[in-house]
Structure formats: C-alpha cells, structure tokens
C-alpha cells in the first residue's frame, strides 16, 4: 500500500506547534463529516451488515475481504468502502451508521490520548489496550492480523546490500558516517512518536540538512525518492505493509528496540451487532490471522503496483484460501 489515509499530516514546511496525530484526528475530515448524510446501519433481522473502510488502498482491500468473507458465510452485507479518512469512518461506527470496519490497534492510542504508554509498542499489549479502551465505547476488536503497518525507514536496496544494512542500528551507523539522506513527511520528522523516537532508541541524530521534508504524507513519493536517488535521497519514510517496497528494491530497516507504536489491523465491530451475529468472529478471525506482513504487502502490491482492483484481489485471495482447505 502506498498511501494510508489515516492521519493527514500538517501542511507547510513547519508543523503547527503542538500538532500531533491526536490533534489531527480531531480535525481531519470534519467538513466531509458535516456534509455526509448516511443511512443507519441495521444488522437486525434480515437487514444487511454495513461494512465500511477508509479511502486508502489497504483500507479498501481489508474492507472487501471482510465483506466477501461475511457474504460467503451467508450474511447479507452492504458495502460503504472508501468512506473517507479515520475521523469519518470512526465516527460512523460510533454513531451506528456502520456495523464494522478495519482499524489499526495503534490508532486507539491517539483516540484515547494514551500514546505515551509503552504498551502501544508491543503487539499483544497494544491489542489488549485497544480492546479494553474501545470496549468502554461499545466496540469490540476481533482477531488482529500479525502485520504491523507502523512507520518505518527503508533504504535503497543497492546501498543496503553494499553496506549490509538490515536494522536501525545499521542505519544509525550510516547516519554517523554522513551517508544518509532521508525523504519524509514533516509530521514524521517532527512528531515525537516518529523520527525522534528512532533517534532516541538507536542513539543517532539526523541533521536537518540531510532531510528532505515534504508537506504531505504520501509514502509513494518518499519511497520512490529513495529508490531512484532523487536529490541524493537514499532512504525514505514508509509504512510496514506498503505494497511497492519489493518492486522499488527498498530494504525496510528492522526495529528490534520497538521505537514505534504497533499498528496491526483488525475488524472493529459494534457490540450490539456482535450480540446479534455471534458467528462473525468465526468467519473473520482465521482470515486476519493469515494476513501476515508478507501476505499483506503482496496483496497491496497487486493493487498499487499491478493496477488491479481491491475487489478482485480480495476475491482471488479468498478463493485461493478456500481451495487449500
């Protein structure tokens, strides 16, 4: 996946003082939300389950997987995929306009204002925290995918192979040798949860004159800059499940110190809907358990690199899984 439309970063070369992912959640997409007039989700009796998703590649892919899997289980569904950014989709779920949609565990850290809690940097603990905090809002997290879509740094493949770069400690070594030029969004550079967290964990400091800071958060731009050495860039901000990483010959630097919050996707469902349809976890939990990082990157690549539709890719993968059982 090349663009995760979750938290649009601040515009301009400098971020607004104090602006964070949490603040952006409160403001992003507000105009669209005010203009949107959806119908109420039903899921009672014969009413279809209303499935939503965000407007990015991975959101559409996961939304189609959920909808197809539930239909294959005999449940009627209504698709409202590509609904918008996080604020729109999350608000629709909380208001009852949607029954379920795929979300990332780490986003609950910002919904709840607990992003400094170290629990968010470990998969099991982050999932438990998301379940607990959203449970108080009448939401239930179903089984999560073992695929972390967190912020990462990827290095040009030729450089990584020549210098044996595999992890952030190696990246720090190259920074110390003044060998790195990074392309990243302004938010990634300035948010304490992003580049500064990497710097603190691995003991380096990337000088500002070695950073190409972009106003947008499109990893298609930062990844291609690193792959093609545009303006001398040899490293770029990416997300962990971006689909174009292999095609662009980029090597994602491993983060054994867990500097970043974990963003593992899972279906989030209204508790009332789950009470009416207790069979839903049996249909979706095995599906998400099979979506490891390599699989999700491959599926995202089929959309972002090969140009196929999310609907077709989701249907094909589900068909392959059904054929192997």
The residue extents of the domains of the chain are 21-148+262-324, 151-252
Model pTM?
0.83
For residue 78, with 0-12 CB atoms within 10 Å meaning exposed, 13-18 middle and 19 or more buried, which class applies?
middle
CATH architecture observed for domain 21-148+262-324: 3-Layer(aba) Sandwich (3.40)
Report the pLDDT value the prediction gives residue 45, as an integer from 0 to 100: 55
Report the pLDDT value the prediction gives residue 266, as an integer from 0 to 100: 98
Contacts of 18 (CB under 8 A, 6+ apart): none
Report the pLDDT value the prediction gives residue 41, as an integer from 0 to 100: 62
For residue 89, with 0-12 CB atoms within 10 Å meaning exposed, 13-18 middle and 19 or more buried, which class applies?
buried
Q: Which of 18, 22, 74 has its CA nearest to residue 46?
A: 74
Q: Which of 54, 126, 131, 130 has its CA nearest to residue 90?
A: 54
- Are both 21-148+262-324 and 151-252 of the same fold? yes
Using only the alpha carbons of the chain, give its radius of gyration. Answer: 20
Show the CA angle centred on residue 298, arms to residues 293 and 299, nearest 5°.
100
Tokens of 308: 């196929």
Alpha carbons 66 and 201: distance in angstroms, whole number: 37
Report the pLDDT value the prediction gives residue 5, as an integer from 0 to 100: 42
Report the pLDDT value the prediction gives residue 4, as an integer from 0 to 100: 35
Instruction: Per residue of the chain (325 residues), give pLDDT as tens.
Output: 223 344 333 222 223 233 344 344 444 444 444 444 455 565 455 799 999 999 889 999 999 999 999 999 999 999 999 999 998 999 999 999 999 999 999 999 999 999 999 999 999 999 999 999 999 999 999 999 999 999 999 999 999 999 999 999 999 999 999 999 999 999 899 989 899 999 999 999 999 999 999 887 789 899 999 999 999 999 999 999 999 999 999 999 999 999 999 999 999 999 999 999 999 999 999 999 999 999 999 999 999 999 999 999 999 999 999 876 6
Domain 151-252 has CATH 3.40.190.120: yes
For residue 297, with 0-12 CB atoms within 10 Å meaning exposed, 13-18 middle and 19 or more buried, which class applies?
buried
């Amino acid at each position: 996946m090349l663009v995760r439309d979750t938290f649009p970063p601040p515009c301009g070369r400098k971020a607004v003082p104090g602006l964070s992912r949490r603040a952006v959640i409160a403001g992003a997409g507000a105009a669209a939300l005010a203009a949107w007039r959806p119908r109420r989700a039903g899921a009672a009796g014969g009413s279809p389950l209303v499935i939503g998703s965000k407007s990015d590649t991975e959101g559409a892919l996961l939304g189609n997987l959920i909808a197809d899997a539930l239909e294959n289980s005999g449940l009627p569904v209504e698709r409202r995929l590509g609904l918008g950014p996080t604020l729109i989709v999350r608000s629709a779920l909380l208001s009852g306009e949607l029954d379920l949609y795929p979300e990332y565990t780490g986003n609950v850290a910002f919904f709840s204002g607990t992003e400094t809690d170290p629990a968010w940097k470990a998969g099991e603990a982050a999932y438990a925290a998301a379940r607990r905090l959203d449970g108080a809002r009448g939401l239930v997290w179903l089984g999560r995918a073992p695929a972390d879509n967190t912020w990462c740094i990827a290095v040009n493949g030729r450089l990584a192979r020549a210098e044996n770069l595999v992890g952030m400690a190696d990246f720090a070594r190259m920074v110390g040798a003044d060998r790195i030029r990074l392309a990243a969004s302004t938010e990634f550079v300035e948010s304490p949860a992003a580049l500064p967290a990497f710097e603190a964990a691995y003991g380096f400091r990337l000088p500002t004159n070695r950073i190409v800071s972009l106003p947008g958060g499109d990893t298609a731009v930062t990844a291609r800059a690193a792959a093609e050495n545009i303006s001398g860039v040899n490293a770029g901000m990416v997300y962990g499940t971006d689909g174009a990483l292999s095609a662009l010959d980029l090597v994602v630097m491993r983060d054994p110190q867990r500097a970043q919050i974990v963003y593992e996707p899972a279906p989030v469902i209204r508790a009332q809907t789950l009470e009416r349809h207790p069979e839903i976890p049996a249909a979706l939990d095995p599906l998400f358990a099979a979506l490891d990082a390599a699989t999700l990157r491959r599926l995202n690549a089929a959309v972002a690199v090969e140009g196929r539709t999310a609907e077709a890719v989701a249907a094909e993968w589900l068909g392959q899984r059904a054929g192997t059982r």
